[in-house]
Amino acid sequence: RMADRNDRLSINVTGKFYVDESCIDCGQCPDSAPEFFGRDDDSGFSFVHRQPFGGDENRNAMEALTACPTDSIGNDG
């Protein structure tokens, strides 16, 4: 399974990384890359609050993507 851009959460900021509706808000992405991922208390989902820029930032976001247990993080880049 891969994240589905058609199920992308509207609370994500615009850009290549996103979280979709399959998120179970396990806390993995905000814990591993809090500069890009956060938790929305109202929806109960994690989401992208800032897009990465450049090499190290992209690597950090990709690490969160690969660690996601539900494959809920997508990268359209």
pTM over 0.75: yes
pLDDT of residue 77: 78
Distance CA 39, CA 21 (A): 13
Sign of CA dihedral 64, 55, 74, 19: positive
Q: What is the pLDDT of residues 18-51, one digit of tens each?
A: 999 999 999 999 999 999 999 999 999 999 999 9
pLDDT of residue 30: 97
Distance CA 40, CA 56 (A): 25
| Average pLDDT along the chain | 96
